Amino acid sequence: MPDPRLNHAARTVDPASPSRRRLLRRAGATLAAAPFVRPLVALGQPGVRPAPGMPVPRFVTTNGIRMAVYERGEGLPVVFVHGFPELAYSWRNQLRSYPAAGLRAIAPDMRGYGLTDRPAEVDGYAIPSLCTDLVGLLDALDIERALFCGHDWGGAAVWTMPRLYPDRVLGVIGVNTPAFGAQPPSAPAEAPLIIPTENYYATTFLEPGRAEAVFSRDVRRALEMIFRRGWYWDVENMRGYPPDSAEKTMDMLRMIEEDNYQGELILPADVLDYWTETFEATGFTGGFNYYRANIGRGGGALRPTGDIDVPCLYVGAENDTILRPSSSDAMPSFIPDLERHVIADCGHWTQQEKPEEFDRVTLDWIRRKLGSA
């Protein structure tokens, strides 16, 4: 989960013009087509199999990496961008419901995850680099413009896309993660639920090897701690925890080690099986590198500027105790065309915990704002 106290990286760039991009694509089409669809054994990551129940993934070359992409449906393209510690499989429900609604659903395993490459260079996980990954994905699929929908760190990326590449973005749906403006976030409208210490989860993820050791000791149990409803993903609970508790300080490493899990697991057993075997094969360093590139190396201090001039929807969750819905309160000041919706009785894993309401809200917004664009 991105640290809501920090703005995310965004640099001013001069995107290639659409005409130049089309010319380059036509000129390179013959050479570029071959790498995009190859046998899984040739391009997949060792020990990682495609997600069950999903379309057969294709592989695209983008920004120096090979990216696995799951795609289904036709119509307006919607690119789903996952966060930590997630996979394209986080959007498994939407890869059924969105095509049924006449949309083209596209979900990549992001850099560092699943079947996609996991470069060692931490700088490659900075938000501007992730946006370049997504632009290369569009080019590989011969898509001029798409709607981007992102959760968690994926939300940070999709809110940055229209600022860096406005000619490639039809609209944005940010899930849980708010967009940040040019100014630092103002004082919260409600009392903070978390007391940050040196063991705050985002801080502990910065030291190479520290979080990896805890998460990898028992991958399944670590994931069971993360993917829950209730417990520390509950506002009323968080208000009542002692100040020195792991929950109140959001010390996730301590919560894993204490192994006193509460609440309810949100993942079905077969889904957790796939998550577990995948992270046992890939490890968690790719995911932690998002924190190291965007917080640990000062990236969070680079503040995005300018309005976001595409239709936007923010979907928050009532019981996301880290990314509170109130963190979106400043967004109308720099997003003229913005709607906000908060899903009640829902924690951080919104599109997986409440897929029916998530789909109802987002598909209705798409129909009203974008139609068959």
| pLDDT, tens digit, 9 for 90 and up, residues 304-333 | 668 999 999 999 999 999 999 999 999 999
Per-residue pLDDT band for 183 (boundaries 50, 70, 90) equals: low
Which helix (H) or strand (E) element contains residue 351?
Answer: helix 350-353
Residue 42 confidence (pLDDT): 42
Residue 268 confidence (pLDDT): 97
Least confident of 11-25, 276-290, 355-369: 11-25
Q: Catalytic residue positions?
A: 152, 291, 348
| pLDDT, tens digit, 9 for 90 and up, residues 208-255 | 999 999 999 999 999 999 999 999 999 999 999 999 999 999 999 999
Q: How much is the pTM?
A: 0.90
Residue 335 confidence (pLDDT): 97
Tell me how far apart the terminal alpha carbons of the chain are, to the nearest angstrom.
32
The gap from C-alpha 335 to its chain's centroid, in whole angstroms, comes to: 20
Residue 186 confidence (pLDDT): 57
Q: Is the pLDDT of residue 206 over 50?
A: yes
CA distances from 345 to 3, 96, 169, 342, 354 (A): 22, 24, 31, 9, 9
Share of the chain above pLDDT 70, in %: 84
Structure tokens at 37: 């669809």
| pLDDT, tens digit, 9 for 90 and up, residues 67-126 | 999 999 999 999 999 999 999 999 999 999 999 999 999 999 999 999 999 999 999 999
Q: Identify the DSSP state of 255.
A: H
Of 279, 280, 284, 276, the C-alpha closest to 212 is 284
The gap from C-alpha 69 to its chain's centroid, in whole angstroms, comes to: 15
Residue 45 confidence (pLDDT): 84
Report d(CA 163, CA 331) in Å as an integer.
14
Mean pLDDT for 264-285 is 98
* Cβ count within 10 A of residue 56: 9
Residue 18, C-beta contacts closer than 8 angstroms, at least 6 positions apart: 144, 167
Residue type, 200: Y
Structure tokens at 300: 């969070």
9 near 129, Cβ under 8 Å?
Answer: no
Which helix (H) or strand (E) element contains residue 315?
Answer: strand 312-317
Q: What is the mean pLDDT of the chain?
A: 89
| pLDDT, tens digit, 9 for 90 and up, residues 19-69 | 434 434 433 333 333 333 333 334 578 889 999 999 999 999 999 999 999
362 three-state secondary structure: helix
User: Which sign, positive or negative, has the C-alpha torsion 317, 95, 313, 148?
Assistant: positive
Report d(CA 201, CA 204) in Å as an integer.
5
Report d(CA 150, CA 77) in Å as an integer.
14
Residue 137 confidence (pLDDT): 98
By DSSP bridging, strand 103-108 and strand 146-151 are unpaired
Residue 118 confidence (pLDDT): 98
Report d(CA 339, CA 319) in Å as an integer.
19
Gyration radius of the chain's alpha carbons? 19
178 near 331, Cβ under 8 Å?
Answer: yes
By DSSP bridging, strand 146-151 and strand 169-175 are parallel
Domains and CATH numbers, the chain: 18-187+299-369 (3.40.50.1820), 201-296 (no CATH)
Residue 305 confidence (pLDDT): 67
Per-residue burial over 188-225, b if 16 or more Cβ lie within 10 Å, else e, is eeeeebbeeeeebbbbbbeeeeebbebbeeebeebbbb
Residue 256 confidence (pLDDT): 98
Mean pLDDT for 188-206 is 90
173 near 147, Cβ under 8 Å?
Answer: yes
